[in-house]
Amino acid sequence: MNKLIIGLVLCLTSSTYLYAAGDVAAGKEKSVACGACHGGDGNSEIANFPKLAGQNYKYLIKQMVDIQSGERSVPEMAGQLDTKNEQDIADLAAYFSSKTAIGGKTAADQLALGQLIYRAGLPSKQVAACTACHGAKGQGLPTAGYPALSGQHATYSEKQLMNFRSMTRTNDTNGMMRDIAARLSDVEIKAVASYLQGLY
3-state percent helix, strand, coil for the chain, nearest multiple of 5: 55, 0, 45
Residue-wise pLDDT for 79-112, tens only, equals 999 999 999 999 999 999 999 999 999 999 999 9
Nearest to 39 by CA among 100, 105, 83, 91: 100
Q: Which of 65, 80, 98 is the last residue before a domain boundary? A: 98
> Rounded to whole angstroms, how far apart are CA atoms 150 and 198?
7
How many domains does the chain contain in total?
A: 2
Residue-wise pLDDT for 26-61, tens only, equals 999 999 999 999 999 999 999 999 999 999 999 999
CATH number at residue 120: 1.10.760.10
What range defines the domain where residue 94 resides? 21-98
Residue-wise pLDDT for 150-190, tens only, equals 999 999 999 999 999 999 999 999 999 999 999 999 999 99
Whether residue 176 lies inside any domain: the answer is yes
Tally DSSP H helices, then E strands, for the chain: 10, 0
62 & 124 share domain: no
